[in-house]
Amino acid sequence: MSDTGHRVLIHYCSQCRWMLRASWTAQELLTTFDGDIAEVVLKPGTGGIFEVRVDDQLIWSRKDEGRFPELSELKQKLRDIIDPQRDLGHSDKKT
Amino acid sequence: MSDTGHRVLIHYCSQCRWMLRASWTAQELLTTFDGDIAEVVLKPGTGGIFEVRVDDQLIWSRKDEGRFPELSELKQKLRDIIDPQRDLGHSDKKT
């Protein structure tokens, strides 16, 4: 669990006061994917950025999508990369 | 702010259920040192670990100290490394 596993990066706009949102997202991912995530990086940024990357692969960009992710769809995207066979339970239902 | 600044690593025991404590610590440091921290890394571990590093320099080890840090003393240690002249206000008072 310590040095294996995936690296999640949450790059958020601190000027927009999205730190708590980013931190909450980190908590949710660390809870759901306990044992599969090596680390979650909280990275302050500017200019309205809210991006989530897994192993440097972009899985969410607020600029591209025009909105924040639902946590369930973020978890689905993460799951599809790190453990495609996993059933996420209620997070796999349509939002 | 984006690619300059310091890297804080919080390595915590997830089996001990210290993720929320680690995340809360991250939120506090990101709030107090807004603009000076490039990123905070939340790293799950095992075996009762709770360590905080700044730029790979260990500033807290629960094993060494026998306890969790007060947030004020953690901020003082971080301040001493990244901006020794800064007054932390009420966090500079004795706890």
- A53 found inside a domain: yes
- B27 found inside a domain: yes
- B25 found inside a domain: yes
Q: Determine the structural domain holding residue B53 and report its residue range.
A: 6-88
- B1 found inside a domain: no
* Distance (Å, whole) CA A58 – CA B41: 18
- B10 found inside a domain: yes
Ordered per-residue pLDDT tens for chain B, 95 residues? 345 799 999 999 999 999 999 999 999 999 999 999 999 999 999 999 999 999 999 999 999 999 999 999 999 999 999 989 989 988 886 54
Domain count, chain A: 1
- B80 found inside a domain: yes
Contacts of A32 in chain B (CB under 8 A): none
What tokens were used for A48? 């309205």
Residue of A nearest to B31 (CA): A19
Contact B2 A45 (CB under 8 A): yes
The enclosing domain of B74 has a CATH number of: 3.40.30.10
pTM of the model: 0.92
* Distance (Å, whole) CA A19 – CA A21: 5
- A1 found inside a domain: no
- A35 found inside a domain: yes
**Mutation to test the B interface, candidates A8, A13, A41, most B Cβ within 10 Å:** A41
State the count of interchain CB pairs (< 8 A) between A and B: 70
